Structure 1
Amino acid sequence: MEGIKISIQDNIQIIEENIEKALRKSGREGEKVELIAVTKTVDINRIKNALDYGIINIGENRVQELELKYNSLGDKINYHMIGHLQTNKVKNIINKTRLVHSLDRLSLAKEIDRRSKNEGIVTEVLLQVNVAEEETKFGLKLNEVLNFLEDVLVFDNIKVRGLMTIAPHVNHEETLRNIFKTLYNLKEDIKSRNYKELSMDYLSMGMSNDYELAIEEGSNMIRVGSNIFGKRNY
């Protein structure tokens, strides 16, 4: 067990050092990048080890796993729903998440708003954008974002905090940079429109294989799993 703890500690330290390097490289030294540890299939003891070394945000792709982690670890950490969220599963995660990263359709927004209203809370969300328009991924197309955002802003119990994307799993740096740059520019465009009751605080982009590039292009929230916990067991 001690070997596992040391490994996780070292991995987190490496990621934190890489974050600082990427911030310096992009002229953003001193800015904050939030690290979300993706805990898909990771057992509770290994998550607790990560918490011992400063992790305060965990991200889950599946509602069932988020519920399991919440029931085991309680509310001492921040839970992020980073995967596709089915409308009929909203009831299971409402009032448990700090942030839902994957709002991408009006039916889901309506259900989040309705459930939040019943609980007397405001649920914070990111709009998921499929910048590369990959058929295998969920998310809004770039030309759909503004209209969808304006539809969501009418809901009293949802607060949009920014944008999220999942880049293609490729090793082509220019392709990745263009995707991240495109989402950053969209965020800046939305900010310049001065929508009432809207704060574009978060740009959630970058995972284990590309988070440094994402930070260099403006990300301030990264979702890292295998670089912390090792290769997943499915």
Structure 2
Amino acid sequence: MIAENLKKTMETIEAAKKKRKEGMAEDVTLVAVTKNHTLESMRAAIDAGVTDIGENRIQESRQKFDALDREVTWHLIGHLQKNKAKYAVRMFDLIHSVDTIELAKELDREAAKHDKVQDILVQVNLAKEDSKSGVYEEELKALLFAIDGLENLRLKGLMCIAPNYDDVEDTRPLFRRMREIFEEIKEYPLERANIRILSMGMTHDYDIAIEEGATVVRVGTGIFGAREY
């Protein structure tokens, strides 16, 4: 089932890429979200072609990281508390959910201990939902420049989570605005940043996110089925 679902997901990604506006030539990276899924399911997905996996929680990730006998790129896509930064730096290749300078500084300190430059994304709460983390658009520029002063972090782009609208088409204006912001920040005179990644779109809306310019999508249920709680 996982291999079949993955094939369908990749077909959807390719179809959505063809609907993009001219000029959006980036490839799309699929992050398979493995939260609450077993090591066996993770291995099956990787063996079927998944190269990137996403986890939400540090504790669950630690158990899997030490047990998973596969080469894969690890993404942290869930909210990260400062006191868990040391674990995140040890495990994750890309942290999607940085949203405060305090968290960024803690990640920078921990990365320095490991002699590592930690790749990060800044999470933007474009819809200003109380239930979601992320910096507001009005505060984004200041945060990006503050992060740019941290030697052991490398800003790679932005991440967002769209509201769970009844009509999934309602996500389109938000994704479109995120792409505009993504293009805007490429013009900022940031010294250490390498702005290449726009992470947006999940199982229910990733096709729309790609059409509007996502370069990374995060799909769990569409690959693995319903989570096992």
Is the structural similarity TM-score above 0.5?
Answer: yes
Question: Are 2:212 and 1:231 aligned?
Answer: no
Aligned AA (1:13): K
Provide TM-score, normalisation by structure 1.
0.94
106-115 vs 66-75, which moves further: 66-75
CA distance in 1, matches of 2:167, 2:16: 18
Distance in 2 (alpha carbons) for counterparts of 1:30 and 1:117: 35
CA deviation string 1:85-141 (max 9, x = no partner):
010011112132110000001111111000111110100000000011101000000
Q: Is the 8 A contact 1:180 1:217 kept in 2?
A: yes
Question: Is 1:78 the counterpart of 2:73 in the alignment?
Answer: yes
Q: State the one-letter code of the partner of 1:24.
A: K
Identity of aligned residues (%): 39
Which runs of 5 or more structure 1 residues have no equivalent in the other structure? 1-6
For 1:76-115, what aligned pairs fall within 5 Å after superposition? Answer: 76-115=71-110
Look up the match of 1:21.
15
From 110, 123, 127, give the equivalent of 2:118. Answer: 123
- Structure 2 unmatched runs, 5+: none
The higher-RCO structure (CA 8 Å, 6+ apart) is 2
Q: How many residues align?
A: 228
Q: Is the 8 A contact 1:66 1:79 kept in 2?
A: no
When normalised by structure 2's length, the TM-score is 0.96
TM superposition shift of 1:174:
4.4
| CA RMSD between the two structures | 1.4
2:2 to 8, 14, 21: 8
75-84 vs 57-66, greater mean Cα deviation? 75-84
1:41 aligns with 2:25: no
Cα distance change, pair 75–46 in 1 and its aligned pair in 2 (3 A): closer
Give the aligned partner of residue 141 of structure 2: 146
**SS in structure 2 at match of 1:151:** helix
